[in-house]
């Protein structure tokens, strides 16, 4: 009698527990569906757009000047062509970049306000604000100081990384940025690397440590609704050269472990976008650098690592590209390789008509069959989904 009573009680408790678990799972599923539905409901009917407007969404443009007017080429590109976004820079004498966009806090806030006011569809306002040496919002311009990734990696204190990132993100929010082209997840394999290690841009040579600190940086941005971008895929940390100034071959130095931060973070479901490197690796693609390589982007990043978010090119005006490929070839190869958003810093040789010229170029490629309409829809769809999640109110 006692055993039967216990059995009934046990069965009843089990039933209650299972019912509660079922309700919890249903609630979670409903919440996910509601979230997905909410994101979808924010999307404009982009599928009905012209191919020109879809292509325009695939452009992230640089431009000269600390102020704009309605007649400025960048204003026209946003208002009339519907480009996807802009990327802001400060002056860089080492790279010959002058007359750019950032000189003081009040000027920057006014510029970003005017840029956003030009747009019918919300635009990305992007910046490379990694911290430390690679900072566009420098202390000498009146912005708060920041620390480098290598400093944080050496301290290896996730609480410090979190608090430092929170402060950096607060600055981005204050001035209106919504896309930070960070964090860097390159491994500091070559301590003499001129573009990564010597500029203190890498957390560590240890992929687990890089993954952990990058996750904290991403979380800081997400708490304030700012899009992040891992870079530089599939790894720039072993290079001996700088792709800003010329050809970079990592065939003999790159290793599979450079993919681990991407694998780890993609597995956590926290990656918004990934930037490609202009590095050449015969083992991955015997013909093209990563930005132009279908083997690397579609084959490794998308198929092998399972990433279906936005892929962003590094600047197509960098020497590693322009010294070896025509602009037409670079654009065609990048899009067909799987790049969704093309960065055109448009700095050293400024072209005021870069937006309509590139849109017309890609339209002709679509009409000739060099680029499929499906590929344009795929890229535009990924961009609009990301914008709906973070940019649309």
Q: Are residues 345 and 227 in the same domain?
A: yes
The whole-number pLDDT of residue 349 equals 81
Decide which of 312 and 34 is more confident: 312
Residue 85's closest CA among 344, 321, 294, 353? 344
Distance between CA atoms of 219 and 166, rounded to whole angstroms?
9
* Confidence at 41, pLDDT banded by 50, 70, 90: low
Instruction: Tell me the Ramachandran region of residue 99: left when phi exceeds 0, alpha when psi lies from -120 to 50, beta otherwise.
Output: left
The whole-number pLDDT of residue 246 equals 57
Q: Are residues 114 and 215 in the same domain?
A: yes
Q: Work out the average pLDDT over 248-259.
A: 96
Residue 241 has pLDDT above 70, yes or no: no
The whole-number pLDDT of residue 166 equals 98
Q: Are residues 2 and 128 in the same domain?
A: no
User: What is the crossing angle of helices 2-42 and 373-390, to 10°?
Assistant: 110
Residue 127's closest CA among 119, 117, 115, 118? 115
Find the length of the chain.
393
Helix count and strand count (H, E) for the chain = 13, 13
Instruction: Tell me the Ramachandran region of residue 77: left when phi exceeds 0, alpha when psi lies from -120 to 50, beta otherwise.
Output: alpha
Q: Are residues 4 and 111 in the same domain?
A: no
Residue 14 has pLDDT above 50, yes or no: no
Q: Are residues 31 and 93 in the same domain?
A: no
Q: Are residues 12 and 93 in the same domain?
A: no
Overall domain count for the chain = 2
Phi, psi for residue 92 in degrees, rounded to 5? -135, 100
The whole-number pLDDT of residue 22 equals 40
User: At 208, which helix (H) or strand (E)?
Assistant: helix 207-223
Q: Are residues 34 and 54 in the same domain?
A: no
Q: What is the DSSP letter of 92?
A: B
Q: Are residues 221 and 299 in the same domain?
A: yes
Q: Work out the average pLDDT over 151-170.
A: 98
Q: Work out the average pLDDT over 307-324.
A: 94
Phi, psi for residue 340 in degrees, rounded to 5? -100, -35
Q: With beta carbons less than 8 A apart as the criterion, state whether 168 and 129 touch.
A: yes
* Confidence at 319, pLDDT banded by 50, 70, 90: confident
Most confident range, picked from 9-13, 22-26, 246-250, 283-287: 283-287
Average pLDDT score over the chain: 90
362: helix, strand or coil: helix
CA dist list (Å): 303 to 286, 298, 338: 19, 6, 11
Q: Are residues 290 and 370 in the same domain?
A: yes
Residue 248 has pLDDT above 50, yes or no: yes
The pair of three-digit structure tokens given for residue 2, joined into one six-digit string: 């006692």
Last-in-domain residue among 42, 58, 74:
42
Q: With beta carbons less than 8 A apart as the criterion, state whether 321 and 359 touch.
A: no
Q: Are residues 36 and 124 in the same domain?
A: no
Q: What is the dihedral of CA 305, 313, 59, 322, to 10 degrees?
A: -150
Q: Are residues 176 and 322 in the same domain?
A: yes
Residue 6 has pLDDT above 70, yes or no: no
Domain ranges, residue 227: 50-390
Distance between CA atoms of 79 and 118, rounded to whole angstroms?
5
The whole-number pLDDT of residue 375 equals 98
Q: Say which residues have a Cβ less than 8 Å from residue 258's Cβ, sequence separation at least 6.
A: 186, 187, 189, 207, 234, 235, 237, 238
Q: What is the dihedral of CA 83, 321, 301, 135, to 10 degrees?
A: -70
Question: Catalytic positions, please?
Answer: 244, 314
Residue 125's closest CA among 393, 387, 389? 387
Q: Work out the average pLDDT over 32-52.
A: 70
The whole-number pLDDT of residue 33 equals 38
Phi, psi for residue 386 in degrees, rounded to 5? -65, -40
Q: Are residues 299 and 361 in the same domain?
A: yes
The pair of three-digit structure tokens given for residue 294, joined into one six-digit string: 């279908």
Percent of the chain with pLDDT strictly greater than 70: 88
* Confidence at 243, pLDDT banded by 50, 70, 90: low
* Confidence at 43, pLDDT banded by 50, 70, 90: confident
* Confidence at 95, pLDDT banded by 50, 70, 90: confident
138: helix, strand or coil: coil
Whichever domain contains 92, its CATH number is: 3.20.20.300
């Amino acid at each position: 009698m006692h055993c039967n009573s216990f059995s009934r009680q046990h069965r009843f408790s089990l039933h209650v527990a299972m019912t509660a678990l079922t309700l919890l799972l249903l609630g979670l599923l409903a919440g996910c569906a509601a979230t997905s539905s909410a994101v979808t409901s924010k999307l404009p009917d982009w599928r009905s757009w012209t191919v020109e407007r879809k292509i325009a969404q695939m452009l992230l443009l640089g431009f000269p000047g600390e102020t704009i007017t309605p007649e400025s080429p960048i204003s026209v590109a946003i208002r009339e062509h519907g480009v996807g976004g802009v990327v802001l820079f400060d002056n860089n004498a080492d790279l010959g970049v002058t007359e750019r966009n950032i000189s003081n806090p009040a000027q920057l806030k006014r510029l970003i306000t005017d840029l956003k006011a030009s747009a019918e569809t919300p635009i990305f306002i992007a910046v490379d604000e990694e911290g430390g040496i690679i900072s566009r919002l420098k202390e000498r311009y009146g912005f708060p100081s920041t620390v480098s990734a290598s400093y944080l990696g050496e301290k290896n204190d996730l609480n410090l990384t979190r608090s430092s990132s929170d402060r950096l993100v607060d600055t981005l929010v204050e001035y209106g940025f919504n896309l930070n082209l960070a964090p860097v997840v390159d491994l500091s394999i070559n301590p003499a690397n001129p573009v990564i290690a010597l500029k203190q841009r890498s957390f560590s040579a240890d992929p687990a440590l890089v993954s952990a600190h990058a996750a904290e940086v991403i979380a800081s941005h997400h708490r304030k609704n700012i899009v992040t971008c891992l870079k530089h895929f599939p790894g720039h940390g072993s290079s001996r050269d700088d792709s800003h100034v010329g050809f970079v071959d990592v065939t003999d130095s790159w290793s599979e472990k450079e993919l681990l931060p991407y694998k780890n973070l993609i597995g956590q479901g926290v990656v918004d976008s990934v930037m490609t490197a202009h590095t050449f690796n015969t083992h991955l693609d015997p013909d093209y650098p990563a930005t132009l390589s279908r083997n690397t982007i579609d084959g490794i990043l998308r198929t092998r690592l399972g990433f279906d978010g936005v892929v962003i090119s590094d600047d197509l005006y960098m020497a590693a590209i322009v010294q070896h490929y025509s602009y037409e070839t670079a654009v065609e190869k990048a899009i067909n390789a799987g790049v969704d958003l093309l960065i055109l810093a448009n700095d050293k040789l400024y072209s005021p008509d870069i937006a309509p010229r590139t849109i017309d170029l890609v339209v002709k490629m679509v009409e000739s069959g060099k680029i499929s309409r499906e590929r344009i829809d795929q890229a535009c769809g990924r961009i609009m989904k990301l914008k709906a999640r973070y940019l649309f109110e």
